[in-house]
Structure 1
Amino acid sequence: MGPRHGKELPVKGPVLSAEFHSTHTILHTDGLLPPTINTLGKCMTLRFDIHGNSAYEEVTRNDILTTIRIAATSVACEANDPDGTRAPVHVMSTSPQRRSKPHSRIRQVGDTAVEIPTVHMRDIRKLDKMFSTSNEPSITVRQQAILVNCDPVRAVIMRDCCFVFLPDGTDSLIAHLKSNFKLHIADASAFEFAALEAILATICCIFSTQCKQVIPLGRSALEKMTKDESMSELESLRSIKNSMSVLESQLGGMRRLLMTLLENEADLHMMYLTKLCEDPKLAQDLFYIDTEDVESILELYLQEIFSSQTRVALMAQNIVNTESIVMLKLDSKRNFLLSVDLSLTLLGTLIAMPTFIVGAFGMNLNSHIQDTEYVFWVVFALCGLFILVGYVVVVKYLKQQGINMSWTY
């Protein structure tokens, strides 16, 4: 493991120097992403420099860890006291002496020491999808590194470079990353904020694209369902609803992440990697750093995420409402069929009772009733009248009990 609580261990493993970059950069002849090959624990990454230029590199987790530790060690050495011993890297919150921040939120923090944690292999390992125990997005701040684990972007941001781990089939992701890095690199006050904003912009763009793909499909399926064109749309709507649930879960995770990060006073100050490198003494009291820049970036993309989440939530609610309407229609059809079935059953019962009388007259026993004139028509009329009156009486009784026997649908 790496250095822990101010103890410096000797750095082992290769260093990502200029020579390493020149020998390990793999570019396809047509400019596209080469196939992802995992040899000796290496994974394909896209490395951005402070000018926004990108190059493909195969690196190991140990390479990334070593690079971060060297950057953190160089900053810590500059903050050493005159006798050559390292000063502890921690933050003391001095609220009475804290500089006022008119444009950023003021949080109440007690007089406690906030240590800047060093990066460890377990932090880098969490960026690997194979070792990730949860899909919950996270942004972890360490000494001279910001670890971003927000599916589908997993990156390590440093003060002078950024490594983005590339999964398979990420051509569109790469295009978004390259354009966003070029777009935000010129206006950012520090490279780490340009990289963070480019990554957040890429994630928001991906979520927005997914919303534009899923929402029209859901709306079309809802229109077909309301028109009763085909009940097979229920299966297609179920698939769309599942996609929306996944998207809504991802958006909710990103929103929780940004809100938690905005409320974490220590992490906001520790994200100023460039300032801490230029003036290592700021590590003794990070709360002198104004966090307006990083807060404005996080708040901007928090609103963007909230907007996309609202769109998906409204569409999901429309699907739920439409499903309720469809179920009501199905219940109405079922009740109609039950009414028809009950009516026919009642008629069958009423007809069966006179049939008993007809059967009695049809027996071979001589009753002499057949000799009586017009007796056939009298019996037939009485049987028909019994059926008609019985049906009307039963229907009226059931209606009084709240059971509608109407065949109107």
Structure 2
Amino acid sequence: MAAREGGYVAPPPPETAPAVKKKAAQSSRSWIVVDPSGQGTVLDADKYAIMRRVQIHARDLRILDPLLSYPSTILGRERAIVLNLEHIKAIITSEEVLLRDPLDENVIPVVEELQRRLPPVNAVCQCQGDGKEYQGGQNDVEVGDEDESPFEFRALEVALEAICSFLAARTTELETAAYPALDELTSKISSRNLDRVRKLKSAMTRLNARVQKVRDELEQLLDDDDDMADLYLSRKLAGASSPVSGSGAANLFLASPTVGSKISRASRASLATVRGDENDVEELEMLLEAYFMQIDGTLNKLTTLREYIDDTEDYINIQLDNHRNQLIQLELFLSSGTVSLSIYSLVGAIFGMNIPYTWNDNHEYMFKWVVIIAGLVSALLFVMIMSYARHKGLVGS
């Protein structure tokens, strides 16, 4: 056990894992540090110790605060990459990765993947020192690729793969629930189905915004070579050791963000003079493009789902309009019948009044014909009204 820059570093004992989990859940200062060998160490330190450890500013560390709401961001600093992607809140340096809230259920797989992807360098060197020969084949290629790729890129790749897989899984779950619900709504319009689709549409809108932000961040990085060059921590670290870099660069970096940015440019310029690869960001560009295509595919799935929801809404509106038209037709039918019957009732009421008139005597047959003619006129009036409504398109044929 050792104290390191104000933070107490100690691996969690297996027998006290529940206690450590409870403590980490209550504290917002819990981090896990993963080194290039894949070893993880729990770090409980305040923000000032973290700032001194990775040499970033408070505004950058504030982005990783779980109590504050910041959009997805990938920032390249002089000696670190600040990564805020949904639940993945990490600081990547050229020597280690610091992940916040290591006992979160969504962060644990990221830690395990980091420990699996980062090869045990010490063990490899020890095997080579002992004179043991490796079997030829795919393992040699994988180890060689891992050795060629900088540490910060391997850690960044794990984080991007984790967030892309996480969002893709959420999208798949949403599709699994949404498509059957939409199909059920088209077959039966009910309050229950409408409320179910409303909740799914709200969830889709929120998820679409999250995926869109990650995609925009990757696109912004791909569009700016300088921003991608800022993520080459190993290159800048090598440039910092050149004569151009002053001995007081670290102190000036902590003093002012502007000065730190100037130091970063000067470091890259000095390294470009020595190696001539200042603008060579092809490796990182290929890495970002791969996950940009993946997150863009996820966004396309959400766009397709949204279009399907919009088409379902249009279909439901058409059905509702059809039912509304049917009700209007029924109302017109009943109103026409009422008008025709009212005329017939009026004639019958006039001639059915019990009032003594002299012209009523010996003319009972005339009353019958009047009632019959009134009925025929009413029926004819009803037919004429319905024909006119059908001619104007108010009633379906």
TM-score w.r.t. length of structure 1: 0.76
The alignment partner of 1:56 has SS state of strand
1:341 corresponding residue in structure 2: 331
Quick check: 1:205 aligned with 2:165?
yes
**What are the residue-to-residue correspondences of 1:19-30 with 2, within 5 Å?**
20-22=8-10, 25-26=11-12, 29=15
Q: 1:173 to 1:384 in 2, by over 3 A?
A: farther
Unaligned ranges ≥5, structure 1? 1-13, 70-118
Quick check: 1:147 aligned with 2:82?
yes
1:49 to 35, 57, 76: 35
2:268 corresponding residue in structure 1: 283
The alignment partner of 2:81 has SS state of strand
1:355 to 345, 348, 355: 345
Once residues 291 and 181 of structure 1 are traced to their aligned partners in structure 2, the CA distance between those partners, rounded to angstroms, is 26
Deviations, residues 120-167 of structure 1 (Å, cap 9, x unaligned): 1111112113233x4x21111111100011112111111111111128
Cα shift at 1:54: 2.2
Q: 1:328 to 1:180 in 2, by over 3 A?
A: farther
TM-score w.r.t. length of structure 2: 0.78
Give the RMSD, CA atoms, in angstroms. Answer: 2.4
Any conservation in 2 of the 1:270–1:286 contact (CA below 8 Å)? no
**What are the residue-to-residue correspondences of 1:234-313 with 2, within 5 Å?**
234-280=194-240, 281=242, 282-285=267-270, 288-289=277-278, 290-313=280-303
Cα shift at 1:350: 1.3
The alignment partner of 1:232 has SS state of helix
Q: 1:330 to 1:15 in 2, by over 3 A?
A: same
Once residues 59 and 302 of structure 2 are traced to their aligned partners in structure 1, the CA distance between those partners, rounded to angstroms, is 34
Identity value in percent:
23
Once residues 391 and 25 of structure 2 are traced to their aligned partners in structure 1, the CA distance between those partners, rounded to angstroms, is 77
Q: 1:286 to 1:221 in 2, by over 3 A?
A: farther
**Number of residue-to-residue matches in the alignment:** 336
The alignment partner of 2:37 has SS state of coil
Once residues 356 and 15 of structure 2 are traced to their aligned partners in structure 1, the CA distance between those partners, rounded to angstroms, is 110
Quick check: 1:377 aligned with 2:314?
no
Cα shift at 1:27: 5.1
1:87 corresponding residue in structure 2: none
Give the letter for the 2:8 counterpart.
F
2:256 corresponding residue in structure 1: none
Cα shift at 1:332: 0.3
Quick check: 1:156 aligned with 2:88?
no
Once residues 115 and 75 of structure 2 are traced to their aligned partners in structure 1, the CA distance between those partners, rounded to angstroms, is 20
Deviations, residues 189-234 of structure 1 (Å, cap 9, x unaligned): 1111111111101101110110111001110111101222645211
Any runs of at least 4 consecutive aligned residues in structure 1 with deviations exceeding 6 A, and if so which? none
Any conservation in 1 of the 2:238–2:271 contact (CA below 8 Å)? no
Give the letter for the 1:283 counterpart.
R
Deviations, residues 40-74 of structure 1 (Å, cap 9, x unaligned): xx5222221112232333222111101013xxxxx
Cα shift at 1:254: 0.7
Q: 1:360 to 1:61 in 2, by over 3 A?
A: same
Any conservation in 1 of the 2:235–2:268 contact (CA below 8 Å)? no
Cα shift at 1:369: 3.3
Give the letter for the 2:30 counterpart.
M
Deviations, residues 294-346 of structure 1 (Å, cap 9, x unaligned): 11111110000000000111011101101110111011011101110111011
2:314 corresponding residue in structure 1: 324
1:34 corresponding residue in structure 2: 21
The alignment partner of 1:130 has SS state of coil
1:121 corresponding residue in structure 2: 58
Deviations, residues 336-377 of structure 1 (Å, cap 9, x unaligned): 011101110111111112211211122232234363243343
Once residues 271 and 325 of structure 2 are traced to their aligned partners in structure 1, the CA distance between those partners, rounded to angstroms, is 70
Q: Write 1 or 2 for the structure with the bigger share of helix.
A: 2
Say which is worse superposed, 361-370 or 238-247, in terms of deviation.
Answer: 361-370
Once residues 378 and 40 of structure 2 are traced to their aligned partners in structure 1, the CA distance between those partners, rounded to angstroms, is 90
Unaligned ranges ≥5, structure 2? 120-142, 243-266
Give the letter for the 1:182 counterpart.
R
